[in-house]
Amino acid sequence: MSFTTTQIWTIIIGLGLGSYLLRLSFLGLIGGRDLPEWVLRHLRYTAVAIMPGMITPLILFPQATGGTLDPVRLGAALATIALSIWTKNATLTIFGGAAVLFALHFTIG
């Protein structure tokens, strides 16, 4: 598919404008107001809802292995989940999961 220079600039400006308007709707229009408690309660779960959707494909279908299941990444993910349940500390979970990933990478390959 080939685009002309005018079409490319139209797409870039349109995406920039859309991004600006999306941010303006939250920061500019309701940024100075207090949000209702039910909205704040739902916003607390945003990261919990988004992170698994971002991380799961990287574990189950990693590009480094051509989309096949990798025992190193799967083992590190399971160890990270166990660490998070056991320690309930985000920092220890992150560094522990990274340590297990590197250890498995160098032992299993």
pLDDT, tens digit (0-9, with 9 covering 90-100), for 51-61: 888 888 888 88
d(CA 47, CA 26): 17
The pair of three-digit structure tokens given for residue 36, joined into one six-digit string: 């209702």
d(CA 96, CA 13): 43
Burial of 76 (0-12, 13-18, 19+ CB in 10 A): buried
pLDDT, tens digit (0-9, with 9 covering 90-100), for 30-45: 777 888 899 889 888 8
The answer to whether 80 touches 55, Cβ cutoff 8 Å, is: no
pLDDT, tens digit (0-9, with 9 covering 90-100), for 61-103: 888 778 888 899 999 999 999 999 999 999 999 999 999 999 9
Domain boundaries, the chain: 1-33, 37-107
What pTM value is reported for the model? Answer: 0.59
